């Protein structure tokens, strides 16, 4: 009998990628795309995966505990996309990340879900800011996000003023991920080249 709690994961992959100049989700990475790689990481430990995408199509990984949904409100940022995705999840807790964190640590992600306790949201505070796209949200936060949008608030970090939020300090995160590689974002072509180099070094180990 498996007594492990069941958690969902959400990947937001509908961003504009303006600094990159092309969709980050489709960047070649490892044996597929960057999105494929992050999907595989999440599926290795989570019971369900919902991926919010800008362009609906059939993905190779769908049907293996993962499915995509259309980010129906373009150019509204992650708040709207996350609201939609949370409404689609089956389980009460969901780890949320973007598609541009190729070194996201799935074990750390699941540990963060374990740490949620009685709060509605758990957000790491790393590199001097709240990491709202490397965080855990309860399913009911879909209603919180809808309330935020109805008040004209589309900045996800403002959820601290609308929900019961636990902020995890960087030193606590470093105990689980000493180099904080899980939080490395690929935002620019330079970041992408660094990620490719790190991946090459990983395969050589």
Which pTM value belongs to this model? 0.93
Q: Is residue 41 in some structural domain?
A: yes
Distance CA 10, CA 86 (A): 8
Task: Domain of residue 196: give its range.
Answer: 8-204
Written as tens digits, the pLDDT of the chain (205 aa) is 457 899 999 999 977 666 776 889 999 998 899 999 999 999 999 999 999 998 778 888 998 789 999 876 655 678 999 999 999 999 999 999 999 999 999 999 999 999 999 999 999 999 999 999 999 999 999 999 999 999 999 999 999 999 999 999 999 999 999 999 999 999 999 999 999 999 988 766 4
Instruction: Tell me what pLDDT residue 133 has.
Output: 97
Nearest to 162 by CA among 109, 115, 119: 119
Give the pLDDT of residue 131. 98
Q: What is the CATH number of the domain that holds 57?
A: 3.90.550.10
Residue 191 lies in a domain: yes
Report how many domains make up the chain: 1
77 in a domain, yes or no? yes
Kindly state the helix (H) or strand (E) to which residue 50 belongs, with its residue range: strand 48-53
Confirm whether 3 is domain-assigned: no
Residue 2 lies in a domain: no
Contacts of 152 (CB under 8 A, 6+ apart): none
Note the pLDDT of residue 2: 58
Is residue 113 one of the residues assigned to a domain?
yes
């Amino acid at each position: 009998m498996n007594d492990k709690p069941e958690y969902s994961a959400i990947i937001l992959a509908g961003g504009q990628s303006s600094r990159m100049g092309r969709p980050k989700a489709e960047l070649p990475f490892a044996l597929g795309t960057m999105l494929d790689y992050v999907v595989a990481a999440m599926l290795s430990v989570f019971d369900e995966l919902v991926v919010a995408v800008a362009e609906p199509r059939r993905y190779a990984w769908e049907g293996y505990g993962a499915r995509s949904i259309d980010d129906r409100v373009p150019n509204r940022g992650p708040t709207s996309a996350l609201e939609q995705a949370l409404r689609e999840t089956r389980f009460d807790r969901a780890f949320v990340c973007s598609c541009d964190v190729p070194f996201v640590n799935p074990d750390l992600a699941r540990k963060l879900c374990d740490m949620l306790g009685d709060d509605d949201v758990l957000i790491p505070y790393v590199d001097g800011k709240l990491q709202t796209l490397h965080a855990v949200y309860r399913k009911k936060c879909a209603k919180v996000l809808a309330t935020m949008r109805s008040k004209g608030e589309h900045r996800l970090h403002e959820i601290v003023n609308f929900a019961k939020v636990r902020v995890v300090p960087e030193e606590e995160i470093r105990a689980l991920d000493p180099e904080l590689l899980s939080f490395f974002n690929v935002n620019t072509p330079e970041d992408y080249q660094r990620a490719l180099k790190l991946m090459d070094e990983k395969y050589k180990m």
